[in-house]
């Protein structure tokens, strides 16, 4: 991977986008992100932090769009990013996007693929695609309403405005706002705590909520019932219940 740095600390993977100056998303960077997510799917990794060098990602490399206009072909970058964000979203472990600088357009869409978003206090996020006469193509019109509600998401998608960190926290885009020089260390420390927990239990929560969201209640409850059944059969479930009865601290192993 030339445009992404991948490091492991204990059971936590740290994925850092590194395409100066602003991590503009192109096919090569998206491919490297996807490869890093694949590495992080290994069972020895129990939590993931994804961040960027100086900026998280200031959106797509717009210069690449001109090639699509010239050739008359569909723009392939959006579909590639869509698949990569979905892969991040479906990782069976907790994930944190640590957002510094800008997370705009595809950058915010990538961050929304994580379970949690931590923003530096000077970060800015948004879906500015409409200012180019286009719309988000990797989940911005779908994940943003799920995070902050339909009407506010419509306003952000239709205005294209940048949102400061404090407003992002108030809206629910951000889960934490911290000083920029503490951002990655805070995310890594929290990820390390998540890594001590019942990894498959976290995965079951993600599965049940993801499959049940927006479906009729009986179908949603079926999804929850299946996820409960799956996680009840794990070693961690036995460990957790046994420790509770014995009034001990459970030692979850992630299986």
Joined together, the tokens standing for residue 188 give 């890594």
Res 115: pLDDT: 98
Residue 225 contacts residue 83 (beta carbons within 8 Å) = no
pTM (two decimals): 0.93
CA distance 163 to 126: 6
Tens of pLDDT, residues 190-221: 999 999 999 999 999 999 999 998 899 999 99
Active site residues: 109, 129
Res 170: pLDDT: 98
List strands edge to edge, sheet with 124-126. Answer: 102-104, 124-126, 163-164
Domain ranges of the chain: 4-195, 199-245
Higher pLDDT residue, 41 or 61?
41
| Residue tagged 């200012």 (tokens) | 131
Is the pLDDT at 72 greater than 80? The verdict is: no
Res 108: pLDDT: 98
Q: Provide the percentage of residues in the chain whose pLDDT is more than 90.
A: 87
Across the range 26-39, mean pLDDT stands at 96
Whole-Å CA distances, 133 to 9, 136, 230: 42, 10, 45
Res 68: pLDDT: 65
Query: Where residue 87 falls among pLDDT bands split at 50, 70, 90?
Result: very high
Superfamily of domain 4-195: 2-enoyl-CoA Hydratase; Chain A, domain 1 (3.90.226.10)
Res 79: pLDDT: 84
Res 67: pLDDT: 66
Across the range 134-153, mean pLDDT stands at 95
Across the range 67-71, mean pLDDT stands at 63
Res 69: pLDDT: 62
Q: Which residues pair with 47 in a beta bridge?
A: 12
Instruction: Write out the CATH class of domain 199-245.
Output: mainly alpha
What is the full DSSP assignment across 211-239? HHTTS-HHHHHHHHHHHHHHHHTSHHHHH
CA distance 221 to 212: 7
Which of the residue ranges 25-29, 60-64, 152-156, 174-178 would you say has the lowest mean pLDDT?
Answer: 60-64
Res 65: pLDDT: 72
């Amino acid at each position: 991977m030339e445009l992404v740095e991948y490091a492991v600390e204990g059971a936590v993977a740290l994925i850092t986008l590194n395409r100066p100056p602003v991590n503009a998303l192109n096919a090569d960077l998206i491919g490297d992100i996807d490869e890093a997510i694949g590495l992080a799917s290994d069972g020895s990794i129990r939590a993931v932090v994804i961040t960027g060098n100086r900026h998280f990602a200031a959106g797509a490399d717009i210069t690449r769009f001109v090639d699509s206009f010239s050739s008359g072909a569909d723009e392939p970058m959006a579909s590639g990013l869509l698949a990569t964000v979905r892969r991040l979203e479906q990782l069976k472990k907790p994930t944190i996007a640590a957002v510094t600088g800008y997370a705009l357009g595809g950058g915010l869409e990538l961050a929304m693929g994580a379970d949690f978003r931590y923003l530096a206090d000077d970060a800015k996020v948004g879906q500015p695609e409409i200012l180019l006469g286009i719309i988000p193509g990797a989940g911005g019109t779908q994940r943003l309403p799920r995070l902050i509600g339909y009407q506010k998401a419509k306003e952000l998608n239709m205005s294209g405005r940048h949102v400061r960190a404090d407003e992002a926290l108030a809206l629910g885009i951000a889960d934490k706002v911290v000083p920029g020089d503490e951002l990655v260390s805070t995310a890594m420390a929290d990820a390390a705590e998540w890594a001590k927990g019942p990894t498959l239990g976290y995965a079951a929560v993600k599965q049940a909520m993801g499959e049940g969201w927006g479906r009729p209640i009986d179908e949603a409850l079926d999804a929850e019932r299946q996820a409960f059944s799956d996680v009840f059969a794990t070693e961690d479930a036995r460990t957790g219940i046994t420790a509770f009865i014995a009034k001990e601290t459970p030692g979850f192993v992630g299986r």
